[in-house]
Amino acid sequence: MAEELSANTDMLRGVAGVQMGMGGTLAAVGTAVSIFPVAALAPIFGPIGAQYLGAFAATSAKQGLDVGQLAMGVTESGVSTTVGSNDYDNTEDHFSQGFTATTEGIEA
């Protein structure tokens, strides 16, 4: 007996919602990392630690950008999943109407 092929598009849209929410959270983390108040640490490190502090500032900024890119990818994945689920449902509806119209006059 053949198994039925189906997709749970509502579940996929739920996963997409989680992905988009996680993308927003990651974006907030990226922003927090990139605006770390490095200048406030200058008095603690003094002139001897200035090079280290500069490197730390550059690393923090790059890390913020990298996390921002990750956030964009996760969000885009959620959007793609939503669009794909909607397309699947629309295609299934369209073709099922065609099959119904074709088989309406046929009796078993």
Domain limits of the chain? 12-92
Per-residue pLDDT at 102 exceeds 80: no
Residue 78, exposed/middle/buried by CB under 10 A (0-12, 13-18, 19+)?
buried
Q: Indicate the SS3 state at residue 79.
A: helix
- The per-residue pLDDT for 37 is 82
For the chain, the 3-state helix, strand and coil shares in percent, each to the nearest 5, are 80, 0, 20
Percent of the chain residues past pLDDT 90, beyond the cut? 49
Percent of the chain residues past pLDDT 70, beyond the cut? 91
The model's confidence at residue 108, banded by pLDDT at 50, 70 and 90, is: low
- The per-residue pLDDT for 21 is 96
**Residue 108 or residue 13, greater confidence:** 13
In tens, the pLDDT along 18-62 reads 999 999 999 999 988 888 788 788 888 888 888 999 998 899 889
Does pTM surpass 0.85?
no
